[in-house]
Amino acid sequence: MESFGTRLRAATDRLGPLCVGVDPHPGLLAAWGLPDSVEGLASFSETVVAALAGRVAVVKPQSAFYEQYGSRGIAILESTVAQCRAAGSLVLLDVKRGDIGSTVRAYAAAYLDPARPLAADALTVAPYLGTGALEPVFAAAHAHSAGVFVLALTSNPEGASVQHARTADGRTVAQAVIDDAARRNAGATPLGDVGLVIGATIGDTGHTLTNVNGPLLAPGMGAQGGTAAGLRAVFGDALPAVLPSYSRQVLGAGPSVAALRAAAESVRDDCAAVLRG
């Protein structure tokens, strides 16, 4: 199989630079006229697949919203992931796992091994036990031509106290994470397989992003305040590597399949005008 970076570039070239986060929280289910139940979750997921699978480059289910319903919720997540991949969208599973030793190896197998029922094209990970502790995830991603998105600069206010702390060599923790991704992606074309998560609403980061050579996921677009035009201030010269991620602004258009598609197309076009303009 082609590398994740190659497949991601092909998907965004074909379908446009857009990731849609699938976050079926109770308020959204209610807005769609669905119950806060396994049945509501199933109906929601079926509609999202019908509307967006194969029509957007990347679909990003948030695992927690499925996990809260137990084994039946996980079964719906498995089906959603498989259907989106089969339709031609890449699936980035938003799980933000981070651990050590045999545990992180098990996480890597769970989400990246194609023989496992929850296998996705990529997953999100947290580096705060040390990026070296994530080595089994990077190894699994390489073995299975998958991707890894590492949290680097997040938009939640609590994140700065950790991410902007200084390491012994004077870099911020975030810059150390960024530099590690750049090292892992060195020489890859058209993009490396190790991406970073950088919030779309944080403004000028004060960090060096131009050498990452991997995808830069920008969550927080739309309802959370991020705008297509605002991506320039956050990413600067690294703008061509950005993958904007919308959730509520797209999903809020449901449950109409046509309205969901129109919302996704609208934000995709807005972002393409900035990223490719």
Write out pLDDT tens, residues 126-160: 999 999 999 999 999 999 999 999 999 999 999 99
CATH superfamily of the domain spanning 4-275: Aldolase class I (3.20.20.70)
**Burial level of 181, CB count in 10 A (0-12/13-18/19+)?**
buried
What pTM did the predictor assign?
0.98
- For position 276, what pLDDT does the model report? 85
Query: Quick check: 46 and 257 in contact, CB under 8 A?
Result: no
Percentage of residues in the chain with pLDDT exceeding 90?
99
Whether residue 60 lies in the annotated active site:
no
Q: Letter for the amino acid at 156?
A: N
Catalytic residue among 72, 96, 142, 171: 96
- For position 222, what pLDDT does the model report? 95
Above 90 in pLDDT, residue 91?
yes
- Return the SS3 of 190: coil
Quick one: pLDDT band at residue 205, thresholds 50, 70, 90?
very high
- For position 16, what pLDDT does the model report? 98
Domain-wise residue ranges, the chain: 4-275
73 sits in which H/E element: helix 70-87
